[in-house]
Amino acid sequence: MDRFQDCVPNATVPLSADASTSSSPTLRAVRFLTPATATPIFSGDIVTDATLSSAARLFSENYGTWEEHSRNPGKTVKLGARRLREKYLPHPAAESYYATVTVDGDLAGNAFYRRWR
């Protein structure tokens, strides 16, 4: 993931329409120094196992460690492709979607959307 080290927030934008208002909250915007590409949003029933394997690898290599009072203190939190499908893209008839962002062709981020009725 070293190639993403230059992808840093470098701008601040006002959250309200009137930037001159001192009480307007600000939100940090991210501008990638390397071009990022957002892909279309896919329906959950067409997401492949290979795609989920990439998503699982991204999560497992970059997010979270177990707290000291857990069963795996200090170890990296792992999430597999099978669990991603079970929890976030369940039954094909369920309303679920998946979107990705790539940088130089490598998966840099993703989002799952699932609507429960």
| pLDDT one-digit tens code per residue, 95-109 | 888 888 888 888 888
15-24, 53-62, 72-81: least confidently modelled range: 15-24
CA distance 69 to 75: 12
Burial status of residue 98 (CB atoms within 10 A of its CB: 0-12, 13-18, 19 or more): buried
Q: How many domains does the chain have?
A: 2
Q: How high is the pLDDT of residue 54?
A: 93
Do 28 and 67 lie in a common domain?
no
Residues 18, 42 share a domain: no
pLDDT of residue 22: 46
Quick: pLDDT tens for 44-71: 888 899 999 999 999 898 888 889 999 9
- Residue with the bigger pLDDT between 100 and 25: it is 100
Are 18 and 72 part of one and the same domain? no
Q: Are residues 20 and 42 in the same domain?
A: no
Give the span between the Cα atoms of 117 and 115, in whole angstroms.
Answer: 6
Residue 79 and residue 26 in one domain: no
The residue range of the domain holding 101 is: 36-117
